[in-house]
């Protein structure tokens, strides 16, 4: 079963690589022309295309790029001629740190709020949490980011507006500098996970064995935590994995707002510079992270629910 899921993940990643390479190929304009700009002549364009390998068939270039990516070789940056892997490594660490920072806070908070809302279904707490989470879902993350910058940074000066971190930044200073990006991500993903936790638990609460537990006089919180929640884990795990994947692949806008030196910011800079190898590498890493997390969620959901292990 795990081998089948892994094979399906590899096939999906292969399809994603085709889309990434094809998308960069059909971008308007020619890469050689973008590099030479005003200095472009027919002779210099031909020489530049030959140097970049653009004179070869796209299928050949795709096969070489995919083979190199499988071995960790993404080629060289067109902007500074450095290896793309060396450019990406520190940025990827920063993105993973920010994602873990937000996940450590968002996942327990969302699950806890979802359980409390299910316990107090129809009460004031349930209504307030649902309204607040609906508002955070409806507001774009960049708008939330600018609101946090305006009030927590500019007006009150609690936290810095720019997340300027370096490899030598101490962990506590790094957590302070990335606090506003972390809060932005937490506000965005907590709402989805909380609402799914509440809905999943309430769907299980309608089961006959839950009604029997209520008739026996067991406290509602105990029924929710010990009986309903374990049987509602499968959809909760799926939505948690989707939001964790968003923390890695969806941080492009948040990193750009706070000028955080992560993978998303690197990708934005590479697009503006027409640095195709960096764009392709970032896109492939994002796709691999998304597919890996979803595959892990699928396997965990099957492990928590034995009924899913066998075909119906």
Give me the pLDDT at residue 306, please: 66
Q: Residue 188: which of 263, 151, 134 has the closest Cα?
A: 134
Give me the pLDDT at residue 14, please: 92
| 7 domain-assigned | no
- For residues 205 and 276, the answer to whether their CB atoms sit within 8 Å is no
| 249 domain-assigned | yes
Q: Residue 279: which of 150, 123, 40, 87 has the closest Cα?
A: 87
List the pLDDT tens digit at each of the 312 positions of the chain: 778 888 888 899 999 999 998 888 776 666 666 666 666 677 777 777 777 767 777 788 888 888 888 888 888 887 777 888 888 989 989 999 999 999 999 999 998 888 888 888 888 888 898 888 888 888 888 888 899 999 998 888 888 888 888 888 899 989 999 999 999 999 888 888 888 888 888 888 878 888 888 888 888 888 888 878 877 777 788 888 888 888 887 778 888 889 899 888 888 888 877 788 888 899 999 999 888 888 887 787 777 766 666 655
Give me the pLDDT at residue 310, please: 62
| 60 domain-assigned | no
Give me the pLDDT at residue 56, please: 76
Give me the pLDDT at residue 312, please: 56
Full residue range of the structural domain in which residue 249 is found: 85-263+305-309
- For residues 200 and 236, the answer to whether their CB atoms sit within 8 Å is yes
| 268 domain-assigned | no
Total Cβ atoms within 10 A of residue 2: 11
Number of domains in the chain: 1
CATH number, residue 202: 1.10.3720.10
Give me the pLDDT at residue 259, please: 87
| 73 domain-assigned | no
User: For 300-303, which contacts have Cβ atoms below 8 Å and span 24 or more sequence positions?
Assistant: 300/237, 300/241, 301/233, 301/234, 301/235, 301/237, 301/238, 302/1
pTM of the model: 0.82
| 298 domain-assigned | no
CB-count exposure of residue 292 (10 Å: 0-12, 13-18, 19+) = middle
| 142 domain-assigned | yes
């Amino acid at each position: 079963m795990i081998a089948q899921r892994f094979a399906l993940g590899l096939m999906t990643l292969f399809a994603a690589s085709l889309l990434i390479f094809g998308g960069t190929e059909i971008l308007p304009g020619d890469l050689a022309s973008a590099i030479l700009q005003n200095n472009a002549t027919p002779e210099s364009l031909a020489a530049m295309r030959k140097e970049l390998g653009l004179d070869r068939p796209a299928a050949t270039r795709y096969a070489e790029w995919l083979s190199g990516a499988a071995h960790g070789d993404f080629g060289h940056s067109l902007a500074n001629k450095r290896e793309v892997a060396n450019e990406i490594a520190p940025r990827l660490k920063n993105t993973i740190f920010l994602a873990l920072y937000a996940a450590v806070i968002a996942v327990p908070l969302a699950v806890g709020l979802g359980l409390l809302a299910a316990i107090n279904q129809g009460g004031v707490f349930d209504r307030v949490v649902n309204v607040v989470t609906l508002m955070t879902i409806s507001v774009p993350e960049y708008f939330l980011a600018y609101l946090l910058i305006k009030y927590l940074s500019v007006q009150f000066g609690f936290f810095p507006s720019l997340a300027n971190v370096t490899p030598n930044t101490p962990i506590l200073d790094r957590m302070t500098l990335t606090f506003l990006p972390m809060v932005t991500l937490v506000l965005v993903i907590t709402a989805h996970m909380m609402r799914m936790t509440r809905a999943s638990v309430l769907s299980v609460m309608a089961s006959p064995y839950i009604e029997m537990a209520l008739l026996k006089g067991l406290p509602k919180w105990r029924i929710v935590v010990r009986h309903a929640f374990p049987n509602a884990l499968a959809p909760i795990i799926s939505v948690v994995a989707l939001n964790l994947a968003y923390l890695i692949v969806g941080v492009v806008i948040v990193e750009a707002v706070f000028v955080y030196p992560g993978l998303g910011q690197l990708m934005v800079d590479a697009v503006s510079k027409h640095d195709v190898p960096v764009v392709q590498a970032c896109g492939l890493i994002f796709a691999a992270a998304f597919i890996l997390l979803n595959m892990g969620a699928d396997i965990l959901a099957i492990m928590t629910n034995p009924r899913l292990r066998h075909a119906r």
